């Protein structure tokens, strides 16, 4: 596979964020519609975001070739940087340091309550070769128009997932957090993006629901359970100073302690940290459904999103021996759940959906997980955002959690 890489000063079409482009052309596909433009993000050589027609990203030989080409282009950019230096890369692609970052400090809560006329929304996601089947299913299920929804993918051969850690472990957590921070840098202050895991599928247009959820907020998350908790596998995040500070703190804590990124996020949201930043956040309705919500019932009528965040396991997620068929590097169980629920929803089989949810709820590890991370057995700081009397509010004084101070 050879890659022709042209460092140019082309810009995106009107209405899009203006960024330099490099054209990546897989050998033998020079004239094919699968030729894509890969954005080079602010001098971070090796980071590539795909901007291409929807059919280019779907599972196909040309799509496979395109992803291989992008991987080659990333290696070439890194080599170019090593030889000529970062400043030379900036000059070659016509990049100048944006002054917009300072403007984020002026984005007030009042300004966020009125939605701006954002011409398009970026749907950002990341995947490696292990999760190619989930990634292909994720992309193929998207319903929204590609005029309004801009797909931005970060693909690497291997994220370094630990099969014995929930969601892949520290390397995956840091990769995704950094990817989201990078993508926030590419949008205008006050605009928002959607960040999603690839074990997600869509049954309808998501933008109306997302716009409603993020209105007047810095972030809106999927519910982990109906009564409490957020899931960061599907969320909308607005570019504000509060958002940058919050997610940089998440990155810092995960990097320092190696804890589960979602647990860190829930701790920061449910204590005084997010409030002290002036960060406004909320949760999407259950039509943005996660399979962990099966503990309280099946997907609601009119479900829009399904996140296969919980699958049946023969060992708990906090076990050190979960690397079997349902380990973090094996997507087969998640893919099977996605396909089964899709069949049931499209067929209108309500009873089948109830049966699927009942099977998940019957998994003893799910209720144990709920109690351990969101309920009476939770260790960590007091979640003062929760109402008095809630099982998950007290936490445990034995926790080593250190409440960070906003900067």
Nearest by Cα to 317 from 354, 263, 268: 263
Question: pLDDT under 70 in the chain at which residues?
Answer: 1-117, 160-168, 313-329, 397-407
pLDDT for position 43: 32
pLDDT for position 70: 58
pLDDT for position 105: 37
Helix (H) and strand (E) counts in the chain: 14, 13
65 backbone dihedrals φ, ψ, rounded to 5°? -65, -35
User: Cα-Cα-Cα-Cα dihedral of 249, 250, 254, 255, to 10°?
Assistant: -40
Contact of 159 with 175, CB cutoff 8 Å: yes
Q: Is residue 248 packed enough to be buried (19+ CB in 10 Å), middle (13-18) or exposed (0-12)?
A: middle
pLDDT for position 272: 84
CA–CA separation, 206 and 187 (whole Å): 19
CA–CA separation, 73 and 175 (whole Å): 19
Pairing type for strands 3-7 and 219-223 reads unpaired
pLDDT for position 52: 43
What pLDDT digit, counting tens, does each position of 145-203 carry? 877 899 999 888 887 665 555 656 788 899 999 999 999 999 999 999 999 999 999 99
Q: Tell me the longest C-alpha to C-alpha distance in the chain.
A: 65
Q: Where are the domains of the chain?
A: 3-97, 120-374
Contact of 217 with 239, CB cutoff 8 Å: no
Nearest by Cα to 232 from 286, 175, 177: 177
Percent of residues in the chain assigned helix, strand, coil, to nearest 5: 40, 15, 45
CA–CA separation, 224 and 221 (whole Å): 9
Residue 165: which residues within 8 A CB-CB, separation 6 or more? 328
pLDDT for position 355: 98
pLDDT for position 101: 38
In terms of phi and psi (left: phi > 0; alpha: psi -120 to 50; beta: otherwise), the region of 272 is alpha
CA–CA separation, 252 and 146 (whole Å): 34
Residue 358: which residues within 8 A CB-CB, separation 6 or more? 294, 298
What CATH code is assigned to 120-374?
A: 3.90.550.10
pLDDT for position 22: 36
What predicted TM-score, i.e. pTM, was given to this entire model? 0.72
Neighbours of 67 (CB within 10 A): 22
Contact of 116 with 191, CB cutoff 8 Å: yes
């Amino acid at each position: 596979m050879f890659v022709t890489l042209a460092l140019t000063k082309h810009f995106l079409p009107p209405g899009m964020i203006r960024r330099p482009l490099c054209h990546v052309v897989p050998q033998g596909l020079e004239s094919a519609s699968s030729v894509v433009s890969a954005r080079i993000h602010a001098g971070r050589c090796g980071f590539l975001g795909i901007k291409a027609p929807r059919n280019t990203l779907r599972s196909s030989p040309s799509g496979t070739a395109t992803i291989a080409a992008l991987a080659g282009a990333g290696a070439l950019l890194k080599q170019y940087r090593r030889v000529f230096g970062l400043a030379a890369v900036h000059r070659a692609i016509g990049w100048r340091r944006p002054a917009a970052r300072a403007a984020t400090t002026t984005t007030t809560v009042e300004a966020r309550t009125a939605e701006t006329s954002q011409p398009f929304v970026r749907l950002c996601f990341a995947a490696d070769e292990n999760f190619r089947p989930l990634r292909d299913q994720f992309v193929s299920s998207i319903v929204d128009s590609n005029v309004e929804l801009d797909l931005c993918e970060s693909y690497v051969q291997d994220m370094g997932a630990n099969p014995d850690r929930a969601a892949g472990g520290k390397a995956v957590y840091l990769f995704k957090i950094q990817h989201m921070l990078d993508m926030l840098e590419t949008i205008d202050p006050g605009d928002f993006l959607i960040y999603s895991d690839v074990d997600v599928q869509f049954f309808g247009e998501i933008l109306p629901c997302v716009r409603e959820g993020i209105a007047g907020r810095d972030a809106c998350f999927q519910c982990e359970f109906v009564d409490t908790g957020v899931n960061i596998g599907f969320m909308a995040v607005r570019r504000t100073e509060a958002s940058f500070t919050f997610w940089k703190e998440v990155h810092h804590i995960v990097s320092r302690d190696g804890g589960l990124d979602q647990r860190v996020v829930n701790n920061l949201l449910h204590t005084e940290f997010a409030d002290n930043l002036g960060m406004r956040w909320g949760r999407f309705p259950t039509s943005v459904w996660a399979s962990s919500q099966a503990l309280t019932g099946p997907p609601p009528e009119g479900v829009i999103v399904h996140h296969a965040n919980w699958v049946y396991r023969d060992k708990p997620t906090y076990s050190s021996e979960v690397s079997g068929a349902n380990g973090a590097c094996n997507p087969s169980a998640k893919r099977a759940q996605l396909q089964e629920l899709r069949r049931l929803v499209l067929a209108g089989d309500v009873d089948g959906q109830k049966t699927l949810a009942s099977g998940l709820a019957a998994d003893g590890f799910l209720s144990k997980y709920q109690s351990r991370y969101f309920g009476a057995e939770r260790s960590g700081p007091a979640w003062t955002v929760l109402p008095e009397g809630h099982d998950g509010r007290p936490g445990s004084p034995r926790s080593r959690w250190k409440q960070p101070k906003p900067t």
